Each structure stands twice: as C-alpha cells, then as structure tokens.
C-alpha cells in the first residue's frame, strides 16, 4: 500500500514532524544490535515519518491521524530497549515522546510525570524534595519513564524495592487508545500491569504515577575478590543483609572487568568485582562484610568525589551497561538473560561456570522479588553461531536455570507476557485495528479477530 507521507505530515500539523530520511532511520533503531540474531533480522527495518508531540492532546491527534489512515504506529522514548521493541517492523509512523516531559506532581512517596520525562531529570527533581525513584535503569540519562514502564522490568533500586511489576511500584498510568477519537484511560494498581512491559502494543502512555522512596547519601562501592565464587558469595551476603542498606548489588567476572578501561588504576588487576551502592551510614558495616568475605574495597566514592576523579556512576558497570562496556570494544560479544533457581546456592553458580565453556563469562544482578533475594545472570557470551547459543541455553536449562531469551523481538519471548490473554484483551480494547507496534506479539495474530471478552476467556482456558 502506498501512503502519501507528505499528506500525512500536513494532517499531523501542528505536531512537529521529522522527515529527513537519515534522522527517521536513526529513530527506527534501538539497542537490538546487542544481539547478532536481532541485528540480522531488524537492521533494515525503518519507519517512514517521526511525529514529536509536545502534549497529550498532540499525541491524541497523532493517533487519530494513524487510525484514519491505517498507519502502523511505534511509540518511542529514548530508544534504549534491547529487543528491538521500538523498531518498526512494518514501517509507518514513529511517535517520539521526549517532548512530553513535564513533572506534574511530587508528593509523599510518589511522583506523577508525563511519559517522555527522562529518568535522570525525574531523579534530579525528586532529590531536593528528599525523594528518589524506587528504581531506574542504568540508562536513566537518555531513557524515558514511559519507555521504562512499557519496555523495562527492573533496575537500580530493585534489590531494595522489587521489580517494577510488584504491587505499589507503578501506582497508576494513563494511556490513549487508537480510535477515531482516542480516549485516555486510567489504569491503577494491578490493572497497570496490562500496559507494563507490553512494548507499546496496548496504548500510548501519556502519564505515569510511580512510587518514590526517601533519598539517601549513596556511596558508589567497588570491591574485588580472588575468585568469582567469592565475589558472588559476598554479593549474596550483601543482598540478603538485614542491616546494610543497598540499592545495587552486582557481581562481574574478572575477564569482563578487563573491558572497563575507565577503572584502570582504580581496581586491583585481574580480580572479580562486586559493584554496590550503599548508604553512608552503613559503610562501616559494608567494609566489615567485605573483609569477612575475603575481599578488598578498592573504591568508595560520593558522587562529587567520583566526578572529580572522572569515573562514571558505578551503575554504568551493572545491568546491561556491563554488556555495553564489552560491546564498545568488541562487537562479537553478546549476552543472555538467565534466572538463578536458588540465589543462595554458591556451589551451583560455580558448577555452572565450569560447565559452560570459556565463551561464557558470568555477571549476576541481585534483586528482591516477592520479598525474597533472587539473582539473575546476564553473562557475556562470545558469539560463534546460533547453534552454539542454543547449546549454551540448553546447558542452563538442563540445570534448572531458566532462560529469558534476549534474542527475540516477540513480546512473549522474554517471559513476562507469555501468551498473556488479559493483556491482549486490553490490546483489543485500546487498539482495535491492531496498529500499535505490529508484528511484536505472536499470540495477538491468533486472537485479533476475537472480542476482548473472548480473548480474556482464553486466559481461563489456560491456552498458550
Ligand atoms: P524505548 O526503547 O524508546 O521504548 C521501549 C518500549 O516502550 C518500546 O516498545 C516502545 O514502543 C515502548 N514505549 C515507549 N514510550 C511509550 C509510551 N509513551 N507509551 C507506550 N509505549 C511506549 N532495562 C531495565 O529494565 N533495567 C535496566 O537496568 C536496563 N539497563 C539497560 C542498560 C543499557 C546500556 C541498555 C542499552 C538498556 C538497558 N535496559 C534496561 C533497557 C532499556 O534501557 C530500559 O528498559 C529503558 O527504560 C527503556 O526506555 P526508553 O525510553 O529508551 O524506551
């Protein structure tokens, strides 16, 4: 079908548009290139036009134009997702939200913001009021809150406050439907999970209300150990400590640490690393814990001290930033997302490291889920071919370590929305023509002709 994009740009007025092909191509990409498999599949997928609404009324106008002209629509925040969530598979309109960035309200334990606000800006606005976000991804400088809620899952803070999907973390959100006259719907509490991590398939988020927590004087800590086993054991001890506060707790294989040139001269060479954020008042207890676990505290810096030394935030060596540090030097690396069946079982971690070959280097993140300390592995994998990647996955799964595949662009692939018919029933209500992010849900294609009620009934049938 041929679309007259010049006419669409005119219809979108007064919304600002970007039609310069180089810029449209740039805004069609995210961090899918972490995966050589996704890179091969997505690198030639581009949108046709970018709209940049500055208000929710302008966003509603963009969606009305898309509906009237049957245009595929992909929402885009900072474009930092890793699974090609923001890549248009079928061309169409990209709606970039970064102009909708107002912080609307800061209150006792919550913040209400427009979807395109950057998380670093939200944290900066909260701090003088004595608050901070309960969690945020390490991409806070360029990622939006709408993108985090629609595409992310956990981050710095999750060891204290759980995953984003846990009760109380997303207090509510508002999202627009894609209809002749788009309607704004409010989703509160558990209902917000129908939009969370749905990759913008279920409506365009305009506003989010999130839990905040009292801010603390955080010290960025790096401790080194002689073996990965020791670093992991110390990480688990810190993560499960009842007395020491922490909002980040990550362990990194010494071979990965070699890819952190900005830490050269600051860390003992060739050692395995524990990265943490600990409040100032708990530093003595933290130092005692590290010593008891056989480690050395190499760095313990306030933000001001860190800036003076020209060292990045410690969280830029955690979560998917760890992977990025390696990829900056060598694009033949990739990664995977692995659950750990029992975070306290240090022997199982060591056994798994030995069982995988030299092409798999461990990196664990500790978090708290349903009140329990959990760990997940984001290993660096030196990519050979897809067959070897499958073999690595199979080795994890055979030992009971679930794989949440990072190499698929289907929302069901990573595990969170696995054939979730409640979420697809909401998609049918919010996007009856199926224009939002087409091609990203396998299950949608099986149910798109059904009514929302019939789709929801499938959840009861337990079908996949
Ligand atoms: P985008 O990539 O622009 O969008 C993500 C998804 O949300 C897309 O499907 C998009 O269509 C949809 N979307 C965006 N805005 C809206 C809207 N207003 N309404 C509806 N749908 C919308 N993720 C984590 O969870 N934790 C981490 O710690 C983390 N660390 C990372 C580190 C690095 C180095 C990288 C590259 C990625 C990391 N990620 C992490 C993934 C990603 O950065 C985060 O999920 C981030 O919050 C996405 O925000 P964004 O604005 O870039 O979203």
Q: What is the mean pLDDT of each run of 10 residues along the chain (464 residues)?
A: 95 98 98 97 98 98 98 98 96 98 98 98 98 97 97 96 96 98 97 93 97 97 98 98 97 97 95 98 98 98 94 95 96 96 97 94 97 97 96 97 95 72 92 97 92 88 50
77 CA distance to ligand 1 middle (Å): 7
354 CA distance to ligand 1 middle (Å): 33
CATH code for position 372: 3.40.462
CA atoms within 13 A on the CB side of 459: 13
Q: Does residue 74 line the site of ligand 1, with CB under 6 A?
A: yes
Domain stops at, among 80, 96, 112? 96
Q: What residue's CA is closest to ligand 1, atom 49?
A: 147
Ligand 1 atom nearest to CA at 315: 28
Domain stops at, among 381, 398, 415? 398
Q: Does residue 28 line the site of ligand 1, with CB under 6 A?
A: no
- Is 87 part of a structural domain of the chain? yes
CATH code for position 80: 3.30.43.10
Residues near 200 by Cβ (< 8 Å), separated by ≥ 6?
74, 75, 85, 86, 150, 151, 436, 437
- Is 56 part of a structural domain of the chain? yes
Are 389 and 242 found together in one domain?
yes
**Segments forming the whole domain that contains residue 286:** 218-398
Are 377 and 241 found together in one domain?
yes
- Is 27 part of a structural domain of the chain? yes
Our CA dihedral for 324, 325, 326, 330, rounded to 10 degrees, sits at 90
431 CA distance to ligand 1 middle (Å): 21
Secondary structure of residue 460 in the 3-state scheme: helix
Residues near 440 by Cβ (< 8 Å), separated by ≥ 6?
85, 89, 199, 201, 409, 410, 411
- Is 146 part of a structural domain of the chain? no
Are 90 and 222 found together in one domain?
no
Alpha helices by DSSP H, listed for 276-356, are 283-292, 303-309, 319-329, 346-355
DSSP string, 389-410: HHHHHHHHHHTT--B--SS--S
Alpha helices by DSSP H, listed for 127-227, are 145-151, 158-161
Are 80 and 224 found together in one domain?
no
Q: Are 170 and 406 in contact (CB under 8 A)?
A: no
**ipTM, interface predicted TM-score of the complex:** 0.99
| CA distance readout (Å), 23 to 18, 20, 65, 139 | 7, 5, 21, 21
149 CA distance to ligand 1 middle (Å): 8
Q: What is the pLDDT of residue 463?
A: 44
CA-to-CA distance for 31 and 407, rounded, in angstroms? Answer: 12
Asked whether the bond before 14 is cis by omega within 30 degrees of 0, the reply is yes
pTM of the entire predicted model: 0.96
Q: What residue's CA is closest to ligand 1, atom 1?
A: 79
Domain count along the chain: 2
- Is 355 part of a structural domain of the chain? yes
Testing ligand 1's pocket by substitution, the residue of 50, 51, 73, 77 carrying the most ligand atoms inside 8 A of its CB is 77
- Is 446 part of a structural domain of the chain? no
Q: Are 333 and 380 in contact (CB under 8 A)?
A: yes
Are 232 and 85 found together in one domain?
no
Q: What is the pLDDT of residue 413?
A: 81
Q: Are 133 and 152 in contact (CB under 8 A)?
A: no
183 CA distance to ligand 1 middle (Å): 24
CA-to-CA distance for 41 and 408, rounded, in angstroms? Answer: 10
Give ∠ CA 13-14-17 in degrees, rounded to 5: 65
Q: What residue's CA is closest to ligand 1, atom 23?
A: 152
Q: What is the pLDDT of residue 464?
A: 38
- Is 190 part of a structural domain of the chain? no
Q: What is the pLDDT of residue 1?
A: 79
CA-to-CA distance for 252 and 230, rounded, in angstroms? Answer: 11
- Is 365 part of a structural domain of the chain? yes
């Amino acid at each position: 079908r041929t679309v007259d994009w010049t006419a669409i740009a005119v219809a979108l007025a007064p919304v600002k548009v970007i039609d310069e092909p180089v810029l449209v191509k740039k805004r069609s990409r995210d961090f899918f290139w972490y995966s050589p498999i996704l890179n091969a599949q997505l690198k030639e997928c581009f949108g046709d036009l970018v709209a940049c609404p500055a208000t929710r009324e302008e966003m509603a106008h963009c969606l009305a134009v898309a509906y009237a002209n049957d245009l595929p629509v992909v929402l885009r925040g900072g474009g930092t997702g890793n699974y090609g969530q923001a890549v248009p598979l079928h061309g169409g309109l990209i709606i970039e939200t970064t102009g909708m960035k107002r912080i609307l309200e800061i209150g006792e334990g919550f913040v209400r913001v427009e979807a395109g606000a950057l998380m670093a800006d939200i944290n900066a606005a909260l701090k003088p009021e004595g608050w901070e976000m309960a969690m945020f991804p390490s991409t806070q400088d360029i990622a939006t809150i709408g993108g985090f809620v629609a595409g992310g899952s956990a981050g710095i803070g999750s060891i204290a406050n759980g995953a984003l999907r846990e009760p109380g973390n997303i207090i509510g959100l508002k999202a627009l439907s894609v209809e002749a006259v788009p309607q704004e719907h409010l989703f509160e509490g558990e209902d917000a999970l129908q939009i969370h991590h749905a990759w913008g398939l279920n409506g365009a988020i305009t506003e989010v209300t999130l839990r905040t927590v009292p801010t603390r004087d955080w010290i960025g800590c790096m401790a080194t150990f002689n073996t990965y086993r020791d670093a992991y054991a110390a990480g688990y001890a810190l993560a499960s400590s009842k007395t020491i506060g922490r909002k980040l707790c990550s362990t990194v294989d010494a071979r990965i640490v070699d890819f952190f040139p900005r830490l050269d001269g600051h860390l003992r060479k060739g050692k395995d690393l524990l990265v943490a954020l600990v409040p100032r008042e708990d530093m003595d207890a933290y130092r005692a814990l590290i010593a008891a676990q056989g480690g050395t505290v190499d760095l313990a810096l306030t933000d001001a001290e860190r800036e003076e030394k020209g060292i990045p935030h410690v969280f830029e060596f955690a979560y998917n930033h760890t992977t990025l540090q390696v990829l900056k030097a060598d694009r033949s690396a990739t990664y995977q997302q692995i659950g750990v069946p029992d975070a306290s079982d240090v022997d199982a971690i060591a056994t798994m490291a030995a069982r995988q070959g030299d092409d798999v280097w461990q990196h664990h993140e500790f978090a708290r889920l349903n009140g329990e300390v959990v760990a997940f592995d984001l290993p660096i994998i030196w990519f050979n071919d897809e067959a070897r990647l499958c073999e690595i996955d199979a080795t994890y799964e055979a030992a009971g370590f679930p794989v949440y595949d990072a190499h698929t662009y289907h929302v069901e692939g990573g595990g969170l929305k696995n054939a979730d018919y409640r979420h697809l029933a909401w998609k049918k209500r919010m996007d009856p023509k199926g224009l939002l992010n087409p091609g990203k849900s396998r299950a949608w294609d099986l149910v798109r002709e059904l009514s929302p009620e019939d789709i929801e009934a499938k959840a009861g049938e337990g079908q996949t």
